[in-house]
Amino acid sequence: MSPIRITLAVLAMLAMHAAWAAESGMALKADAIRAEPFGDAKTVATLSAGDKVEILKKDGGWLQVKSAKGSGWVRMLSIRKGEARKGSGDAAGLLGLASGRAGTGKVVATTGIRGLNEEELKSAKFNAAELKLAESFATSRPEAQKFAAQGKLAARKFDYLPAPE
């Protein structure tokens, strides 16, 4: 096997792993599993908070899941996707913490990009040139309208949501 082949094989395995990991989930709260992705569809089973599910498909705000309790459709917001912890292999993040960045605010991560902590924000000095640059990118309302039209985005009415309870 050539090194390239091996690399490809490893990459393929990693990709499979990632795909598999992305398909598991956990119920954040008790909710109904329904026969179809509609609020008034028949309830097939009921998930309890903490129940593990396998996610098969997504449709709008609904996820098709398989679980020990039964299979069907659950509202996406009732499910916390994945168990794998993303970013746990991220050297910059872990390094930042391990090297006590939270204390001194002076540690540079391996990427050369610093994180932002309270100390850095507190001691930040006004940067007029950078602010001017930021303001130079401003988009006017008509420009935004044009940009939306290019993406076939149409404005529509929708009321604000009341706080739950």
Partner 1 sequence: MMRSMKWLCLVVLALGCGAASGLDFEQELKKALKEGVQQKSAAPSGGAQGGNLLSGLGGTSQEEEIAIGRQIAGNLLGASPLVKDKRLQKYVNNVGRWVASQSERPELPWHFGVIESSDVNAFAAPGGYIFLTRGLYRLLANEAELAGVLAHEVGHVIRQHHLKILQQSRLVDLGGKLIAKQVGDNNAVQKLIGSGAEVVARSLDKSAEFEADRIAVVLSTRAGYDAFAFPEVLQQIGHFAKDDGNVALLFKTHPHPDDRLEKLGQAMGGRFDAVKGQALEKRFYRLKP
| Interacting positions 41-100 with partner 1 (CB under 8 A) | 60-61, 75-78, 80-82, 84-88, 90, 92-98
CA separation for the pair 156, 143 (Å, rounded) = 18
| DSSP string for residues in 90-124 | -HHHHHHHHTTHHHHS-PPPTTS-----HHHHHT-
Q: How far is the CB of 99 from partner 1 (least distance, A)?
A: 9
CA separation for the pair 108, 121 (Å, rounded) = 15
Contact string 98-137 vs partner 1 (x = CB under 8 A)? x--xx------x-x-xxxxxx-xxxxxxxxx-xx-xxx-x
Query: Does 144 help bind partner 1 (rule: CB under 8 A)?
Result: yes
Query: Strand pairing partners for 46?
Result: 32
Q: How far is CA 97 from the centre of its chain?
A: 22
Contact string 9-38 vs partner 1 (x = CB under 8 A)? -------------------xx--------x
- Which of residues 30, 39, 48, 54 is near partner 1 by CB under 8 A? 39
Locate 65 and state its tokens.
């899941």
Q: Name the segment binding partner 1 (CB under 8 A); options: 1-9, 11-19, 65-73, 149-157.
A: 149-157
Q: Name the segment binding partner 1 (CB under 8 A); options: 5-13, 64-72, 139-147.
A: 139-147
Task: Indicate the length of the chain as a whole number.
Answer: 165
Residues 78 and 67 sit within 8 Å (Cβ to Cβ): no
Q: Which is nearer to partner 1, 9 or 134 (CB)?
A: 134
